[in-house]
Amino acid sequence: MRVTIFGATGLLGKPLLRAWAQNSPGDEVIGLGSKDADLRDAAQVSAAVQRTRPDWIVLSAAYTDVDGCESNQEQAMEVNCHGAVRVAQAAKENGARLLFVSTDYVFDGSGTVPYETSHPRAPRSVYGRSKAEAEVQISQVLPDCCIVRTAWLFGPDGKCFPDTILKLAASKPKLEVVDDQRGSPTYAPDLAEAIRQLCQVGAKGIVHATNRGECSWFEFAREIVRSAGLSTPVLPTTSEKFVRPAPRPAYSVLSPKSLEAYAVTLPAWQDALARYLATRK
């Protein structure tokens, strides 16, 4: 199988390359960064797909600065929505399958039970709207595409929440972290392996993929500090005390049923955190 990965230099892109190298060494995988193919340029996208001739395209490239999207709405839509559609069109023209990485931000976060794939989209942020609209439009171009929604991504290949917490815990006498937002921390290498398996079995439609279990950001931070052997106190606080430009979903736990339907499961987030911390030592 030939695979082209857009966004191969990012937090998820690098683990995607490793997942294929380790577990599907017979596949031919080409990773592209923004310097290789700018999603804002249809000609570059088309040329990249024609050049690499993939059976599968994995689109993990995105403008992921959630707060930045609020003040750069045009860029958010151009990259996250229109750019995704350009990739879908190039995939269609070249007979390739597409797996698009999406987000829990397509929901409004008002739920209290894990979101199923059929739950209505109701994004509250520009980032969420850009991804939700991309889901709709690429599905119109490629009805057999696979859309993988994930949440709370962290990993060793880029800036992420555990990295920030560890740095703060080493420099501050105490930490205050919001306790009124719940989700499922997701380890990028685990998600990458799930994506590889989904491509191998020809998955289609919407799939929710996160590590098992749920917690608040406060509970996640407390476990990070504890597991790292640090003694910095971690205290709960509210979102009202940490107002951000983009509204965050209060509840963004995604149901694993759609992923399990393909016989793919991810470990618990605590297990994933332990492996992440091991990579830092």
Give kind and range of the element (H or E) at residue 67.
Answer: helix 66-71
Query: Quick check: is 251 catalytic?
Result: no
Angle among Cα 201, 207, 209 to the nearest 5 degrees reads 100
Among candidates 191, 180, 155, which has minimal Cα distance to 249? Answer: 180
Rounded to whole angstroms, the Cα distance separating 217 from 231 reads 18
Q: Which of 63, 127, 251, 276 is catalytic?
A: 127
Tracing tokens 């476990």 back to the chain, one arrives at 223
Among candidates 77, 98, 137, 141, which has minimal Cα distance to 6? Answer: 98
Helix (H, G, I), strand (E, B) or coil at 209: coil
Q: Tokens in use for 230?
A: 């640090």
Rounded to whole angstroms, the Cα distance separating 223 from 201 reads 35
Tell me the catalytic residues: 127
